[in-house]
Chains A and B, each alone.
Chain A
Amino acid sequence: MQMVNETGWKPKIVAFCCNWCSYAGADLAGSGRLSYPADIKIIRVPCSCRVNPLFILRAFERGADGVILCGCHPGDCHYTSGNYYARRRMTMLFSMLDYLGIERGRTRVEWVSAAEGAKFSATMNDFAKTITELGENRKLGDLRCKK
């Protein structure tokens, strides 16, 4: 399944997934035969707080149209408190991107547990839909990738 808008353009979406929850959630979505868009490229990270703000900016710089970070539900972090730090960091980063005039819909954080294959699938479908509606990312990124 692929998200395509009227002009045939397909979004590039990067999903950072925590090894202990959403990565397993994506597996569960797969074994449960729940579909999610093929445009989503999953990057496995050991914890949502492993994601440095620079990772997200770098993804955009290299041509991503949307970046989503999935981690364990607050309180369920494998390392006790990683996702709480990630939550603060991402709030500040998203607020700053908004301040710089970048569309708010391009970044998102969702908490998806290993048992929530259906939520993973639904979240990814919804995010891909949002990005497809927003269209190509023209405000961020490398000119060289936009030829």
Chain B
Amino acid sequence: MQLMNEGTVARVVGWEKGEGECDWTPALFESVQEMDGFVYGDYAGANLSKYCVKMNKAEGKTLVVLKPCDTLSFRQLIHEHRLNRDNFYLIGAGCKGMKDESGLLLKCKTCKGKDFEIFDEIIDDEESKQPTAIMDRMEGVTALENETAQERFDFWRNELSRCIRCNACRNVCPACTCEKCVFDNPASSVASKAPVTDFEENVFHIIRAFHVAGRCTDCGECSRVCPQHIPLHLLNRKFIKDMNELYGEYQAGVGEEERTPMTTYTKTDAEPSIVRERGNA
């Protein structure tokens, strides 16, 4: 990889060791000397696709190291014209499932597969091709759906009321790349740090998930970075599950550029009353 740094690429986006043993943070390396700090291994959980948006306009090529799931986000960003493929040199890095201090990351427990959607070069080994998924991706969503409305309400009130509005979920999300965000508007009613209404956190999280609906690759970064451990992926996956059920199977970031479920329609779509008509109220 360091060979690349000697001409073909101007910089490398990768990981470096953070403050703690299991805390590896994304880093930008701009010279061969700096590359000494580069690490890749069990704790390289962060998805680097989002950092590429900033690098898109930088001079020269940028080398980015992407895990299989990160390539989905990268490809989705190309579809959205946020990234120019020619400005990047992509290394697909084999992944054995990423960890943090408490073991395998949640997003790796529900791993979507080990295929690279987009790459220039792949560095992996046999072990990294083994599946790491140990549970079904929609397990949590289905379990919640089967509860009563009051149980679901209590569950989400308990989870979302812990939100401290640090915006980490928005900032880390590779689908959230608007330069002006609705939540930064002081008149949006959800811009304040301290909630003034008991519904504000719900509004924030519903809209956050809604804005990425259809474009979310389910990379699981939102839940990984949440300092309050709110299971935000359950909101995104609910949208994914609904869209798969109602509008056909779709995975953002796979295949050629096409319209996402929320930016297209068919004349025979289900009516919104389907929500009232289906079971388990």
Q: Which A residues fall within an 8 A CB radius of B?
A: 53-54, 57-58, 60-61, 74-75, 81, 84-85, 87-105, 107-109, 139-144
Instruction: Give every chain B residue within 8 A of A87 (Cβ-Cβ).
Output: 265, 269, 271-272
Knowing A91-B275, A142-B199, the reply to whether A99 touches B210 (Cβ < 8 A) is no
Instruction: Give every chain A residue within 8 A of B197 (Cβ-Cβ).
Output: 61, 141-144
**Smallest beta-carbon distance A67→chain B, Å:** 12
Instruction: Give every chain B residue within 8 A of A141 (Cβ-Cβ).
Output: 197-199
A-B contact pairs, 27 of them (CB 8 A): A53-B210, A54-B182, A57-B202, A57-B206, A61-B197, A61-B203, A84-B269, A85-B263, A88-B261, A88-B265, A88-B269, A91-B242, A91-B270, A92-B213, A96-B210, A96-B238, A98-B149, A99-B144, A100-B152, A101-B152, A101-B156, A102-B153, A104-B276, A109-B271, A140-B202, A141-B199, A142-B199
CA distance A85 to B239 in the complex (A): 16
Instruction: Give every chain B residue within 8 A of A91 (Cβ-Cβ).
Output: 242, 246, 269-272, 274-275
Knowing A75-B267, A92-B242, A99-B238, the reply to whether A61 touches B272 (Cβ < 8 A) is no
CA distance A87 to B266 in the complex (A): 10
Mostly, the B contact residues are helix
Instruction: Give every chain A residue within 8 A of B23 (Cβ-Cβ).
Output: none
User: Total A-B pairs in contact (CB under 8 Å)?
Assistant: 117
Instruction: Give every chain A residue within 8 A of B155 (Cβ-Cβ).
Output: 101
Instruction: Give every chain B residue within 8 A of A60 (Cβ-Cβ).
Output: 199
Q: Which B residues fall within an 8 A CB radius of A?
A: 144-145, 149-156, 182, 188-189, 196-200, 202-203, 206-207, 209-210, 213, 235, 238-239, 242-243, 246-247, 261-263, 265-267, 269-276, 281
Q: B275: which of A57, A61, A104, A140 is its contact (CB, 8 Å)? A: A104
Q: Would B149 and A89 count as touching, CB distance under 8 A? A: no
Instruction: Give every chain B residue within 8 A of A53 (Cβ-Cβ).
Output: 206-207, 210
Closest to B276 in A: A104
CA distance A108 to B271 in the complex (A): 10
Q: Would B199 and A140 count as touching, CB distance under 8 A? A: yes
CA distance A75 to B44 in the complex (A): 50
Q: Would B235 and A96 count as touching, CB distance under 8 A? A: yes
Closest to A97 in B: B206
Instruction: Give every chain A residue within 8 A of B272 (Cβ-Cβ).
Output: 87, 90-91, 94, 107-109
